[in-house]
Structure 1
């Protein structure tokens, strides 16, 4: 993605190679078995079980279970998906069945779109952008402004119009079993709506053609991209279950370097921000990604929201933010973290608690390679809390908070201001998780 010409050739073959690349990433081809959570009801009308994490609180999460025949859709193209979603303000219950892999970078007629197509008519070119904002001449004290930055923003807006899918309230989006269902190159946006279910889908290759250079980001500046595979912004009662998130087929190791910094085309996998609340994230596979899950977009988010449950997920080849949590009450239980470098993704930490986040982490399993330290599993800013219990490292019960605090100058607090009660399915031991979750997480295991 170094330049539109480079991405053109890559994107034209994206739909054909994404499934193979997901397998190469270590995700697996998908074993079709019935999971215990699936129950006897048909997949499309299933709702979140009682007491299954924060999303079961209050009115619970039912998605589009009450949809009538006129609001039940089967889609296999980008245009069909957009039509099925309808208006983001329409609260009529709907069920959207995704059949096969939908390529977001296509026209309504199905023609493949490239980065060059989005840039057409804007005046943007990467070479001109690099020349205009070279720190050696432009400096490092302010964000880019002027002709090329305006052109970049316009090109990025063109891409957003095509790849961002806005989900209305009372919606279930679910992959049709056996079809390799998912979205490649797109962002599912759940913003200021209530009651949404997203299940059994693979989200791959969500990429920004036009990252912005920010010389003020950190000591050396950074390239920042704009799209998460799934983003929650001010959303409530959301259940994300049995999905797969991956950068495949374009891993970060293929990103070029400009101004001495990686030209990062990926943003989050599943981000939960802008006072989103009452969210359950269960049995997903997060694979080969850097900044994976953000809970709370800034340290100044107001208190009282960002209540999130994460359980029975697999995190493999994840660099950081699994999750990074701010402000809220987050329950992390029965997850499996394989902290081994995969396809160039070298893990830095798993859980970061900051901005007074109240995290309860219990009965999770970490697989650490030889030489890796348990003290590196957690991170924080000195204001966040992690109450840990029953967590295993390579099969041994380990006090991760104590290990972190012994090696850090910014201690994590060890007590929290709440007690989880919505804990259906909580397993008392993490010992079997590496084996049990291998065939029961991610897309393609539900029938």
Structure 2
């Protein structure tokens, strides 16, 4: 049940972390709500997060234990949680730092795992047996620490310009009315990737954690968030079975029929697969859902999925894309997949010479893309025409008719103006 404007019943447990009184002259981000018309999250009642929380459910947290108590197991009680400083999810109840060796159990070891499931001897079967069971048990121990459920009617906001949540996977699962703002979400590092022999032809490593995962979530506003792999870049991980030993999944994935989401003024950086909207071509229950607005965000050194979309109606406007000279693994930015309906307006792309404008869009069973006002290295480009001209041999042509026109949005600036504004203002610590 949504409790946006209701008072909380008396007698609920009060959790005392650090006193959460704000100066009368200080802007209270925890009480702010999404403005009307600011994207899909403003539809059907809007998004207010924990703005209705009483004073007993306003917390300032400085460590994992305090954050866990404030989150209250993902309860629906209206709450405002202010994050101060850096919180590391990979810590025990006494605040001691934990590493992968602390989670390993039942005889699990990377070398043992590699020896057992080497494709040259194991073959293409799904891993099974003692080492896979030990991996699962070890992974479960880490998940107990790093998976943090965020419930309905919650605002999670960083204090000041240096609030960091490190190593955590925030999961908004089957919850409604959530706001996440002014936070750096860093390095959701999986200690125990699983080998999948039949993925991608050669097999691949699959990891468990997104920095932020919306799964069956509705009315969610993500604003001025920075998400990256900072601290443990996958490019520095070893190669096993001729595949990179990946440790990170998505930065922000929106799946499981999530709906009515606005992502604004955020920064996604230094990552492979940044944002997945809709997780399967056969998940037809996503039809009519996955309505997402992405505006004034920066995607920097992101190899792919910025975003990749299935089924959803996604309004993508005034975003900034930067591919660095050393980003040799860049694949694409906009992924057009099954029944997706992306309406892209006035986005700016800056790339080095090895990236062509035709590389910006990739289609898998997609049928339509509306793209207008795009800039490529300062020059106007028609992304749809370029895609159809250069990819007709391998992908079917896309049409411009996506079947809808966005109405919930603020001013759509030129791509050049948005590029400058986003460079100055996107990401955690830049909320003024």
Give the TM-score taking structure 1 as reference length: 0.88
3-state SS, counterpart of residue 429 of structure 2 = coil
Q: What is the CA-CA distance between 1:345 and the residue it aligns to?
A: 6.3
- Aligned partners of 2:132 and 2:297: how far apart in 1? 39
Aligned to 2:18: none
Aligned to 2:384: 401
Aligned to 2:291: 307
Deviations 1:368-403 (CA, angstroms, capped at 9, x unpaired):
222421100001124342101111112222101111
Check whether the contact 1:359–1:387 (CA below 8 A) recurs between aligned residues. Answer: yes
The answer to whether residue 79 in structure 2 is matched with residue 79 in structure 1 is: no
* 274, 280, 285: which one aligns with 1:292: 274
* 205, 208, 211: which one aligns with 1:226: 208
Check whether the contact 2:325–2:351 (CA below 8 A) recurs between aligned residues. Answer: no
Aligned to 2:418: 433
Aligned to 1:34: none
Q: For structure 1, which segment, 224-233 or 366-375, has the greater mean C-alpha deviation from structure 2 after superposition?
A: 366-375
The answer to whether residue 340 in structure 2 is matched with residue 357 in structure 1 is: yes
Q: For structure 1, which segment, 221-230 or 432-441, has the greater mean C-alpha deviation from structure 2 after superposition?
A: 432-441
* 84, 104, 127: which one aligns with 1:144: 127
* 239, 251, 254: which one aligns with 1:269: 251
Q: For structure 1, which segment, 433-442 or 269-278, has the greater mean C-alpha deviation from structure 2 after superposition?
A: 433-442
Q: Greater relative contact order: 1 or 2 (C-alpha under 8 angstroms, separation 6 or more)?
A: 1
Q: What is the CA-CA distance between 1:414 and the residue it aligns to?
A: 2.0
* 352, 356, 373: which one aligns with 1:369: 352
Unaligned runs of 5+ in 1: 1-39
The answer to whether residue 242 in structure 2 is matched with residue 260 in structure 1 is: yes
Aligned residues: 402
Check whether the contact 2:210–2:248 (CA below 8 A) recurs between aligned residues. Answer: yes
Q: What is the CA-CA distance between 1:41 and the residue it aligns to?
A: 5.5
Matches within 5 A, 1:82-93: 82-88=68-74, 90-93=75-78
* 43, 49, 74: which one aligns with 1:57: 43
The answer to whether residue 332 in structure 2 is matched with residue 346 in structure 1 is: no
* Gap change, CA 1:211 and 1:345, over 3 Å in 2: farther
* 141, 148, 154: which one aligns with 1:158: 141
- Aligned partners of 1:394 and 1:70: how far apart in 2? 51
Aligned to 2:406: 420
The answer to whether residue 157 in structure 2 is matched with residue 174 in structure 1 is: yes
Aligned to 2:28: 42
Deviations 1:400-423 (CA, angstroms, capped at 9, x unpaired):
111111111312232111110001
Q: Which stretches of structure 1, 4 residues or longer, exceed 3 Å deviation after superposition?
A: none
- Aligned partners of 2:135 and 2:375: how far apart in 1? 47
Deviations 1:34-70 (CA, angstroms, capped at 9, x unpaired):
xxxxxx9521111000000000001100000011111
Deviations 1:161-208 (CA, angstroms, capped at 9, x unpaired):
000110010000000013x10211110000000000000000111110
Aligned to 1:390: 373
- Aligned partners of 2:354 and 2:98: how far apart in 1? 45
Unaligned runs of 5+ in 2: 1-25
The answer to whether residue 80 in structure 2 is matched with residue 98 in structure 1 is: no
- Aligned partners of 1:370 and 1:264: how far apart in 2? 27
* 237, 251, 258: which one aligns with 2:219: 237
* Gap change, CA 1:382 and 1:299, over 3 Å in 2: closer
- Aligned partners of 1:85 and 1:371: how far apart in 2? 46
Check whether the contact 1:163–1:186 (CA below 8 A) recurs between aligned residues. Answer: yes
Check whether the contact 1:230–1:271 (CA below 8 A) recurs between aligned residues. Answer: yes
Aligned to 2:17: none
Matches within 5 A, 1:205-220: 205-220=187-202
Aligned to 1:30: none
Q: What is the CA-CA distance between 1:122 and the residue it aligns to?
A: 2.1
Check whether the contact 2:51–2:79 (CA below 8 A) recurs between aligned residues. Answer: yes
Give the TM-score taking structure 2 as reference length: 0.91
* Gap change, CA 1:225 and 1:371, over 3 Å in 2: closer
Deviations 1:116-143 (CA, angstroms, capped at 9, x unpaired):
1101x32211111111111111102x21
Check whether the contact 2:345–2:371 (CA below 8 A) recurs between aligned residues. Answer: yes
Aligned to 1:325: 309
Check whether the contact 1:233–1:275 (CA below 8 A) recurs between aligned residues. Answer: yes
